[in-house]
Chains A and B, each alone.
Chain A
């Protein structure tokens, strides 16, 4: 049997996390088919057909899919589900919203947010905000699985030549409608995929002081993160939040500044490859996960850090 992967896209480009999900899908079974539901979304289908891991694209192209609504997507997926052993997608706000609606109508108990594929029916997933990992085996005939994107490398985007097959639209749902989306535009790398993340916590003391973080992030071509405490205090907007209630990030370098390291924050960043903590409280829990800890006043350390970075001849981007 084959794996049906639901692509996330904006009708022009495929979203990066779909490529991570494709990698995981091909670990489940090599016969990966990708479903692209969209409107004027030919370019998306074409670009995914170049991914070598993908064996077939099913393209449903209709103006009713101009904007993504779980209610609209679900009927299309249900129609195709019989031919598949697995239905998968990324475990971000797209897939978290969609997959349970599909699973319930197939009478399937979903496996959420997997971080490892052990076999076709057995997966590892974090529970309690990553403070424990459960190995679970699905006994349902069809397996509905969402994939934690940062646990899998993105699939390559060239070299493949999968066939694109067009398929019919489902019924348009009358019960919900899209109103608007306010995307936060930034020239920086996206938080979820950035190589370097510099985050500030309550220790920043004000939104104004986040300019110290911004300056370092500019130098390192980094995304800017924040703890929930900093977001709740109004220093920075929620789309920067790293943690159980925000985003899970796995950068090569994570720099936590003025962040004490509450369990809920650690859940979002402790898989980072190298962690730096700058905090004046030497007992702060953040130091227990840091590879390099600097016990210092951040208002002196950050300008000095920038000064030292400026002295380097080259900085990786």
Chain B
């Protein structure tokens, strides 16, 4: 079984982002970048499945700028066998990413595609489901447990009411929740080894996919600031304020 894992390069989750002064977007110059956190869970799961002898190859793919190569390289350091970087300039919408991934799937013919359930930059939560639609594959989104069966997967999903279990035929798309596993850190020897693993570079324009945005970003603003609150000195004062000032209890 072959597993393709899609990874995205995003601003590190610990960075307090800043809005550009002209409201055209978010400041990304000189900001620490990392792999989108649930994509780390996706790679971890694929590597675990390979280590358990149930997969023959794990391929990491990223769609992004030249520097997204670092993100692919990190996936190689935790155990992916080889990488693919599809180069695009500037912003790209999930619909276009899913069309690019469709081309990669048609070429690589994986049995499973894993990726994070959502990217923490645009918070769209679309790419996995869109790719599943374009391929006419089943989708198991927000996965917190994956059990591999003969020709299917049993996937436990994190849903609003609790947990839902579905069975999807292979080939399938799985989008991963943070609870799926505990991603490992890459060891130094593995980071060194990863440098020798191949990363194929493809230009998105060569895949014949239209990547022009369909959504115009008019402006980006800071969220409304909360007015400064007060510190209360005691529990009694707190209850009194909640009762008589805020009138919420």
Contact = CB atoms under 8 A, between A and B. Distances in A.
B164 A312 contact: no
A127 B248 contact: no
B218 A135 contact: yes
B243 A312 contact: yes
A96 B141 contact: yes
Given A103-B126, A182-B163, A175 B137 contact: yes
Contacts of B104: none
Contacts of B124: 110, 112
B198 interface: no
Interface in B84-98: 93-96, 98
Interface residues of B, number: 80
A44 to B, nearest CB: 16
A220 B18 CA distance: 37
A contact face: mostly helix, strand, loop, or mixed:
mixed
B contact face: mostly helix, strand, loop, or mixed:
mixed
A126 B177 CA distance: 20
B226 A139 contact: no
Nearest to A252: B248
B21 interface: no
Given A128-B123, A292-B242, A316-B249, A176 B219 contact: no
B165 interface: yes
Interface in A91-138: 92-94, 96-105, 107-113, 122, 125-138
Contacts of A71: 138-139
Interface in B148-206: 154, 157-169, 172, 177-179
A104 B209 CA distance: 14
A96 B160 CA distance: 11
Contacts of B52: none
Contacts of A173: 138
- Contact size class for A? 35 or more
A273 B248 contact: yes
A270 interface: yes
A176 B138 contact: yes
B242 A274 contact: yes
Contacts of B93: 109
B123 A129 contact: yes
Interface string A60-95: 000000000111001000000000000000001110
Given A101-B139, A104-B98, A274-B246, A134 B217 contact: yes
A102 B133 CA distance: 8
A177 interface: yes
Interface in A285-314: 287, 289-296, 301, 304-305, 308-309, 312
B160 A132 contact: no
B166 A176 contact: yes
Contacts of B235: 294, 296, 301, 304-305, 308
Interface centre among B127, B142, B166 (most CB of A within 10 A): B166
Interface string B115-128: 00000111111111
Contact of B168 (A175, A252, A292): A175
Given A132-B17, A175-B169, A292-B232, A126 B223 contact: yes
28 contacts: A69-B166, A100-B94, A100-B130, A101-B132, A105-B133, A112-B126, A113-B125, A128-B11, A133-B220, A175-B136, A176-B138, A178-B164, A179-B154, A181-B159, A183-B162, A184-B162, A253-B242, A276-B242, A291-B246, A292-B229, A292-B231, A293-B230, A293-B232, A295-B231, A308-B238, A309-B239, A309-B249, A312-B243
Interface of B: 11, 13-14, 16-17, 19, 26, 93-96, 98, 120-134, 136-142, 144, 154, 157-169, 172, 177-179, 213-223, 226, 229-232, 234-236, 238-239, 241-243, 246, 248-249
Interface of A: 69-71, 74, 92-94, 96-105, 107-113, 122, 125-140, 173-184, 192, 196, 220, 238-239, 244-245, 247, 252-253, 263-264, 270, 273-276, 282, 287, 289-296, 301, 304-305, 308-309, 312, 315-316
